[in-house]
Amino acid sequence: MGHGRVAFPEMAWVAGAHPLERKKSDPRWPVALLEFGPAFHDPNWCERGHQGLVLEGEFGLEFETGSVRYPVGESFCVERGTRHRAFNPAAVPVRIFVVSSDA
């Protein structure tokens, strides 16, 4: 079993798939820092598993049955296979630390 260091402070932010998304990630590990700007709403459904922590702002997840908002300091867990998509309900950027499972 291996181990490693992910030096987020030393990484540059890179553009994500959406114009209001940017991220810091290391392809060796399933962790990332994500930032979503105000009015961000992912148009695509995701079915990967995720666990995360809200570091700044307020984070939202939309599910087929409704949506949930998570304030700073709260964590979230989404089981693989659960359709969801992220959004930012606030007027300020939201930053999250996230661990993702394989699709």
Chain mean position to CA 100: 9
Q: What b/e readout covers 32-44, taking b as 16+ CB neighbours within 10 angstroms?
A: bbbbbbeebebee
Instruction: Report the number of distinct structural domains present in the chain.
Output: 1
- The 10s digit of each residue's pLDDT in 55-101 is 999 999 999 999 999 999 999 999 999 999 999 999 999 999 999 98
- This prediction's pTM: 0.92
In a domain, 67, yes or no: yes
Q: Token pair for residue 59?
A: 């984070």
CATH number for the domain that contains residue 83: 2.60.120.10
- The 10s digit of each residue's pLDDT in 5-38 is 999 999 999 999 999 999 999 999 999 999 999 9
pLDDT at position 102: 72
In a domain, 80, yes or no: yes
